[in-house]
Amino acid sequence: MKTIYQFSLILALFASACSSDLMDKMPLDKFSESAVWNDLNLTEAYVNYQYKVLPKIGWYEWIRAHQLGTFTDETVHKYGYNNVQDYWRGLMGPSLVTGIDVWRYHYQFIKGCNVFLQSIDKVPANSDDEKDKKARMEGEIYALRAWSYMDLAARYGGVVLVTEPFELDDDFARERSSFDETVDLVIDDLDKAIALLPESYSGDKDWGRITKGAAMAMKSRMLLYAASPLFNTSNDKSKWTAAAEAAKKVIDLGLYVLEPDYKQLFLENKNDEIILSRGNDNINDDGYFGYFGVVEGVGGGIDGNGYASGWSTSMVTQNMVDAFEMIDGTPFDWNNPEHRANPYKNRDPRFDASVTHDGTSWIADSLIQFWICEKSNNYTKNPFDSDFEIDYTVYGRNSVGNPGQRQDCPEMGYIYQKAMNPKYDTNAEQYPYSVPWIIFRYAEILLNYAEALYESGGSEDIVRTYLNQVRSRVGMPKITASGSELRKKIQHERRIELCFEAHRYFDARRWKTAVEDFSQPAKGIRIVKDKSSDKMVYNVFEFQQRTWPEKYYLQPIPQYELDKISLNQNPGY
């Protein structure tokens, strides 16, 4: 498939001619101004490169995509990459910013956008098509700069606003702007982008480009964040109203719908729910692996023979699993004997679509097996008692009881599932499926609108209507709650519908619930099976103790930046 990431020969030469550290040296360091800004094709190649600021599934991108969940109560990183263990010890600070720091990353791309905006008027455009293309590229760049400033603001609060190119030897004596001033720049950039961008593109060659709807969706998200308790301390209702209006404008475009199959929508590069995504396949491979199933796949092999084996990197927490309701809309409860006897039965369908658990179907008739056995077959014994002996001759093939593969099995009893195709086979074909990272989709917009409308004092009937659109797609019963209970339902629905899509980190912080939510121990499951029957006992245990201090509501300004310029640090650091 041709996409904006399948660069032309010009772009290939363009990229190879740049420094290996493209973050520090933008393309103009290698191409003369007359080359880049006098050739519309080279200018487009320049724009295409700026798209790398958006997150995707890839070796170097996971921390800004699904692995951001390891910094929340959704998942645990099996191997502790990105200083995530220091994060959970409460040690994040200016000199230990951990893998979620994006300060330097974004400013390097902001510089690229600023260079473009300063130079675009120089680019010749003779025909109407060339003029339209030039205007469209300008809209793309405004939206990409807005993305960077939105992400910075959501993490750090107000940041340094730079709207012109800068060099290493420039006098950079600047101060942080306020959060509201940062939001104003984002919205101004997005309004310019919305005016310049088309609603859609014809053909696959421009698949993945930012559209008018994508810029409007970004505006919806930014205004929702700005209206939330973390940043809107006075609960200014007008900010909620603005957020509701922005979401409603995306809905009123009439371009997007909820796809009928929740699981399948994440396995397709293009469908009517996706508003903006970045592809991931053998063409669009920025990292070591073209498909993240290699890393996120079930350890020990799918069928015990090394078939499509993986490392079980992001282990899903029991905390997240327990959040999925029963199919009748009631909460899951370990104290309910029926629930405890078969905890994966009759759950919200989004559970099976999002989480790989014991009994998950994989590749034809193969089933995931996370259970273990006790050596003397006392399957009711607590597996964490000192006298419990794991039987390494009778075991679930994907479990810690597998003597040959247990080092790569998920000790917590769950692994990532959303966006993983169960037909994936690394031995048969390295890149069998192209799976995108979805940045904006229609379900988020519906949830944005429901939340903002509720908080602005709008009609609760209308709020429930949009909330229930999302639930009806998967056959979950309608929400009838009102008042403060409706707010809880709105927040819960976001947690479930958008799980593992890099929303939880921002949502729990902006709601000011993260101190409570993220300070809970990360729990897992150990399933002990009777050797002679299908009887199983499910043992919940605390896998990891966690500390999430108040100061974490904003990330620290990195010391590497403070060493260059004097900036006010965020509280608590």
**pLDDT single digits (tens) 499-527:** 999 999 999 999 999 999 999 999 999 99
Contact 311, 292 (CB under 8 A): no
Residue 174: pLDDT band by 50, 70, 90 thresholds? Answer: confident
How far CA 380 is from CA of 191, 253, 374, 530, 536, in Å, comes to 62, 57, 9, 8, 8
pLDDT digits (tens, 9 = 90+) for 205-247: 888 999 999 999 999 999 999 999 999 999 999 999 999 999 9
Pairing outcome for strands 437-441 and 361-362? unpaired
* Residue 3 pLDDT > 80: no
148's enclosing H/E stretch is: helix 128-156
* Residue 150 pLDDT > 70: yes
Average pLDDT along the chain: 89
* Residue 469 pLDDT > 70: yes
pLDDT at residue number 408: 84
Question: What does the longest C-alpha to C-alpha distance in the chain come to?
Answer: 82
Under DSSP, is residue 162 helix (H, G, I), strand (E, B) or coil? coil
Q: How far apart are CA 400 and CA 415, in angstroms?
A: 13
Phi, psi of 78 (to 5 degrees): -60, -35
pLDDT at residue number 287: 47
Q: Which of 128, 124, 119, 140 is nearest to 193 (CA)?
A: 140
Least confident of 32-41, 243-252, 267-276, 544-553: 32-41
Q: Which of 90, 66, 79, 82 is nearest to 545 (CA)?
A: 90
pLDDT digits (tens, 9 = 90+) for 23-75: 233 444 455 677 899 999 999 999 999 999 999 887 667 789 989 999 999 99
* Range 419-435 average pLDDT: 63
Q: How far apart are CA 483 and CA 488, in angstroms?
A: 9
DSSP state at residue 371: -
pLDDT at residue number 366: 76
Contact 213, 272 (CB under 8 A): no
Altogether, the residues listed in the chain come to a count of 573
Least confident of 81-90, 276-285, 309-318, 400-409: 276-285
pLDDT at residue number 123: 96
pTM value is 0.93
Contact 307, 342 (CB under 8 A): no
* Range 189-207 average pLDDT: 93
Q: Which of 205, 26, 18 is nearest to 107 (CA)?
A: 26
Using alpha carbons only, give the angle 94, 98, 104 rounded to the nearest 5 degrees. Answer: 70
pLDDT at residue number 169: 59
DSSP assignment string, 30-96:
TS-HHHHTT-HHHHHHHHHHHGGGS--SSTTTGGGTGGGGGGTTSEEETT-GGGHHHHHTT--BTTB
* Range 77-106 average pLDDT: 96
